[in-house]
Amino acid sequence: MADAKIELLEVRKTYGGHVALCGVSLAIAAGTFVALVGASGSGKTTLLKTINGLAAIDAGQVRIDGEDARAVPPHVLRRRIGYVFQEVGLFPHLTVAENIAITPKLLGWDPARIAARVEALLDLVALPREVAGRAPAALSGGQRQRVGVARALAAEPAVMLMDEPFGALDPITRDALGTDVRALHERLGLTTVMVTHDMAEAVLLADRIVVIDAGVVLADGPPQALAASAEPKVRALMDAPRRQAARLAERLGLGS
C-alpha cells in the first residue's frame, strides 16, 4: 500500500515456543482509526507493540511512513508514536504537568514551549489547568487516563497506539473518554490503533476492525462489512453487542 502510514509485512513473533504472530500483513492509511479485537492471547497487544518496537519481531518488516522501523533507533521511534496503556503508567513522584512534559523534555524543548504545551493539552483532554501541580494519586481514574492521553500526545505524534485504554474505567467515564478520544483523533488528524475487548466500543469508535485469532488476521474491514461476515468467530464477535442490547431492552421493558 503506497500511502500506508503503518505497514506490517509478513510479521512473525514468538515467545519461547508460542507463536504470537504468524506472518501478519496489515496496511493502515493515514487518518484511520483501527480497532484490534479478538480473544485473550490472540496476539492483539503483541501486534500493537511491534509498531513502536516494544516487541521485536522475529521475521518480516514493520514500516512507518514507508521507512523500516528497525532502521530507526528504538527510543527515537517511540518518541514519534503516542502510546496509552490501560494502567496509565503515570510516574507517582511527578506532578501531572511533569508527567505530560516527559517526552518534550527528552527532545530538548525549551521550558516556555513545554509549559504552553502542557496547558494546551490539559485543555485538549478536558482537564482543568489547576490539576497540573497535583500528584496522579489525587486524581480520579478517568482523570488519570486523560493525563495518559495528554502525555501520549505531548510531542505531537501522528500515530497513537492504545492498549485497552478504557478497560479499568466505570461505564459512564469509559463512554465519555472514548467519545473524546475519537474527537481528538479527528481534530488532530491522527492514525490510531486501539486494542479492545469491547466489541461495542470497537464498532462505535473505529473506522475499521481487525480481528486477530491465534496470531493471524481472521477478518479486516469496516464494522458494517464484518457484521455481514459468514466466518463463525467473526459473527460471534459482531453479534455480541446486538445480543447485549436485546437483553438490556428486555430487562428494562423497552421492547414491549
Domain borders along the chain are: 1-73+160-173+189-256, 81-156
Residue 38 backbone dihedrals phi, psi, to 5 degrees: 150, 175
Q: Report yes or no: 26 and 7 within 8 Å, Cβ to Cβ.
A: yes
Give the pairing type, strands 67-68 and 59-64: antiparallel
Judged against a pLDDT cut of 70, whether residue 5 lies above it is answered with yes
Position 165 scores a pLDDT of: 87
Supply the pLDDT for residue 166.
85
Q: How many CB atoms lie within 10 A of CB 86?
A: 18
Q: What is the pLDDT of residue 252?
A: 81
Q: Calculate mean pLDDT across residues 167-177.
A: 85
Q: What is the DSSP string of 13-49?
A: EEETTEEEEEEEEEEEETT-EEEEE-STTSSHHHHHH
pLDDT tens column, 213-253: 999 999 999 999 998 898 999 998 888 877 877 777 788 88
Q: How confident is the model at residue 1 (pLDDT cuts 50, 70, 90)?
A: low
Q: What percentage of the chain has pLDDT greater than the value 90?
A: 74
Tell me what pLDDT residue 241 has: 76
In the structure grid, which three cell numbers stand for residue 213, read together? 485469532
Q: Are 151 and 102 in contact (CB under 8 A)?
A: yes
At residue 51, the pLDDT reads 96
CA atoms within 13 A on the CB side of 219: 24
> What pLDDT is attached to residue 223?
93
Residue 56's CB is within 10 A of a number of other CB atoms, namely 10
Local structure of 151: helix, strand or coil:
helix
Q: What are the helix (H) ranges across the chain? A: 44-51, 74-79, 96-100, 102-106, 111-124, 141-153, 171-188, 199-205, 223-227, 232-251
Dihedral of the CA atoms 81, 86, 91, 92 (nearest 10)?
A: 160
pLDDT at 256 over 60: no
Mean pLDDT of the chain: 92
Q: What's the confidence (pLDDT) of residue 186?
A: 96
Q: Residue 81 has which C-alpha cell?
A: 508514536
pLDDT digits (tens, 9 = 90+) for 16-66: 889 999 999 999 999 999 999 999 899 999 999 999 999 999 999 999 999
In the predicted structure, residue 255 carries a pLDDT above the cut 80 = no
Residue positions counted in the chain: 256
Query: pLDDT tens digits for 185-222?
Result: 999 999 999 999 889 899 999 999 999 999 999 999 99
pLDDT tens, 55-111?
Answer: 999 999 999 999 999 999 988 998 899 999 877 789 999 999 999 999 999 999 999
- For domain 1-73+160-173+189-256, give the CATH superfamily: P-loop containing nucleotide triphosphate hydrolases (3.40.50.300)
